[in-house]
Chains A and B, each alone.
Chain A
Amino acid sequence: MNFRINKASIFIITSIILGVFTIFLSISKGSVKIPFNEVINILLHNENVQNSHKFIIINLRIPRTISAIMVGMSLSLCGAIFQTLFKNPLTEPYLLGISSGAALGVTIASVFNLFVFVNGIWGTFAFSFIFALLSAFIIFTLAGKNKSSLLILLLSGLAINFFFSALNSLLLYFNRDKLQNIIFWQMGSFTLSSYEKILYTSPIMIILIIILLSKSKELDVLLLSEDTAKSIGVNVKKQRIFILIITTLLTSICVGIAGTIGFIGLIIPHIVKLIFPLKHRIILPLSLYLGAIFTLFCDVIARLLITNTEIPIGIITALFGAPFFIYVLKKAKANIL
């Protein structure tokens, strides 16, 4: 017998096991302790179960798990794509200030009661998209002129982050009565996930994800020099702007669902590229998958870290992400600064 065990198959098997395990963990763990048997019973037979436990699993934990998967996939994918768009390893929606733009949009929508359409979901997303786009284009203009110098990009993102967060705080100061729901939400949380929200957002997210995945070839080309790209027949500028808009839209939907969660888009694509320094055809789907697992895992930690309470997931991802950021910065310094 000759098993051909290579890096790829180990990686794939491990991540499948990890995925199944994390999903099960997310469904079975929370502040209310539900015994293993009962969880299985609720999921499979649906008999002899306590009604409240059934509700917690079916109507709280499962929607929460789905939301975390959707948002995790999207943010990780957006991070991978931003890194290519700006030819820069240290970008992701949060660090570029795009998430805080989106968050400002959400605050404006809720403070001025611009909850139009279905339960306010679309009103919120429209505003978060407009402001996310605004920050994306500020960044894009700045980065375009300086050929995405790492420093310029990071500092611009920082400035946009500060500016939009300040506007956000200012708005909340004037509207203290809305503070309760918004301010902490800016650290990101999946606590209030519901099937309704998932139903309205997931189809669009899936379509956007498919569009972005289909751009793998173009993204490969964008990494080449502009002349080479032209000779292959790719209109670099047009592609960059199109992909930027789709990515920003996806980011703003994520912010609308769960608030600003940072660093997922930084950590996951990096790990993927570390193991598979390949084409986007491979990098993007892997980032998608691992992004979902990582986010789900962080959400489980957020639920279990303190007994009887849940903390914002943004705290957990930042705790992992910020040291990782410094590590990448140290590595990248030699090449880019």
Chain B
Amino acid sequence: MKKILFIFLFLLVSLNSVFSEGSKEEINISKTSTILDSYQREVKIPNNPKRIISLGPNITEIIGALNFDKLVGRTDFCDFPKQVLELDSIGNITNPNIEKIVELNPDLVIGSAHCPKDVLESITKLNIPAIALYDDNSIEGSNKLIEQIGKIINEDEKAISIIEENNKLIKSIIQKTKDLESKSAYYVVGFGSWGDFSCGGDTYIGKMFDLISADNIAKNVSGWNYSIEQLIEKDPDIIIISKYFDSKNQFINTYPYSTLKAVRENKVYEIDNNMLDRQGVRNAQGLLELAKIIYQDEF
């Protein structure tokens, strides 16, 4: 009896696969298209991908907001939205575990600007379309990226509505902060014995400060390099630091940072820097957090 049942099941499975194979081919003919990714590579991708692996936290956030169910894999660094933690991780961003990627059987792999081209090439060679998507590091760039991913994963309308919502929020923040008096602020990107890093005027975080008319003490430098001497000289009213890695605690307890006015007056504020750093759906929210820290009660 068992044997018969087994044979029956086996037949059913193989029949099923025969049929599905046929239909899959049919889909393939009509439902793939060639796109140009951000590395200018031509890649043939399915029109309506259903099993996507993201190789960048920002990509994960965007797909998570557009249609979470399409995600099947993430990197070790992807932690938003919360439920992505339940997905399998394929390792780190620059050197993902390719065996794990194959095992997850994706129909599309999307990486960010941090994903090396040769990693994508080697995934594509395994007949898994892999593309990199990124845009200018700015809020407009994020919007363009959301729109592009929306098109690729067949969620255009959702993408447009997210962008509109974000733009509305940003507009209202700009409107509100325009006439407020800004305290001088320092944004900690890195600190300690290996040097100090902040957002210079031409960096995208520096531009966010400009957007909300905030007084960024590093606005006159270009790029991310700063120094403890300049920080001491400017002695800002408030300091903004990542809420991760115990940064605030280490910062306020390390000489000479401990002598800064903002540290003495307890004006060091934590921010979820991922909202600003990741080019994705939370940039407007990040801008709001930044404005709340800088303008405090007035906002």
Does B194 have its Cβ within 8 Å of any Cβ on chain A? Answer: yes
Set of chain A residues within 8 Å of B196, measured between Cβ atoms: 309-310
Set of chain B residues within 8 Å of A184, measured between Cβ atoms: 192-195
B247 near A52 with CB under 8 A, answer: no
A185 to B69, CA, bound (A): 43
Set of chain A residues within 8 Å of B191, measured between Cβ atoms: 180
B229 near A32 with CB under 8 A, answer: yes
Closest B residue, CB atoms, query A197: B255
Set of chain B residues within 8 Å of A187, measured between Cβ atoms: 194
A308 near B232 with CB under 8 A, answer: no
Interface contacts (Cβ under 8 Å), in number, total 88
CB distance from A53 to the nearest CB of B (A): 7
A185 near B192 with CB under 8 A, answer: yes
Does A105 have its Cβ within 8 Å of any Cβ on chain B? Answer: no
Range of interface residues on chain A? Answer: 20 to 34
Range of interface residues on chain B? Answer: 20 to 34
Does A259 have its Cβ within 8 Å of any Cβ on chain B? Answer: yes
Set of chain A residues within 8 Å of B227, measured between Cβ atoms: 30-32, 303, 308-310
B195 near A310 with CB under 8 A, answer: yes
Does B246 have its Cβ within 8 Å of any Cβ on chain A? Answer: yes
B256 near A311 with CB under 8 A, answer: no
B232 near A177 with CB under 8 A, answer: no
CB distance from B232 to the nearest CB of A (A): 5
A60 to B229, CA, bound (A): 8
A194 near B193 with CB under 8 A, answer: no
Set of chain A residues within 8 Å of B190, measured between Cβ atoms: 180
A177 near B246 with CB under 8 A, answer: yes
Contact residue among B193, B232, B254, B259 (Cβ-Cβ distance under 8 Å from A189): B193
Q: Mark B192-211, 1 if CB is under 8 A from A, else 0.
A: 11111100000000000000
A185 near B193 with CB under 8 A, answer: yes
A126 to B197, CA, bound (A): 31
A55 to B244, CA, bound (A): 30
B259 near A59 with CB under 8 A, answer: yes
Residues of B near any A CB (own CB < 8 A): 190-197, 221, 225-230, 232-235, 244-247, 250, 254-256, 259
The contact sample of 12 A-B pairs, CB cut-off 8 A, is A31-B227, A56-B229, A59-B259, A60-B256, A181-B193, A184-B193, A189-B195, A191-B195, A192-B255, A309-B196, A310-B195, A310-B196
